[in-house]
Amino acid sequence: MEDNGNKDLSFEEALLQLENIVRELESGRIKLDDAVTAYEKAVSLKQFCEKRLKDAQLKIEKIEITPNGEMSTSELEKID
């Protein structure tokens, strides 16, 4: 499922929308057709949030080359 227009959202906005959809679905007061549409939007938002988190994780990992020439990643050391 594609991002369906999520690309202009910040991570926080997408997460808030996702939380609102989950609450609405959990309430049980939504018509079936609307629930299916909401579920599809929730899946799209979840994928968007996961991708944003993964992208952020990649930015904060350090790439290292091992003695045998293989690449690996490790967490960057915290700077206090």
Dump pLDDT digits (tens) for 16-69.
999 999 999 999 999 999 999 999 999 999 999 999 998 887 777 777 778 888
CA distance 55 to 17: 20
Point out which residues pair with 63 in neighbouring strands: 73
Query: Can you name the CATH fold of 6-75?
Result: Helix Hairpins (1.10.287)
**Reported pTM:** 0.68
pLDDT interval class at 2 (50, 70, 90) = very low
H helix intervals, 1-80:
11-27, 32-59
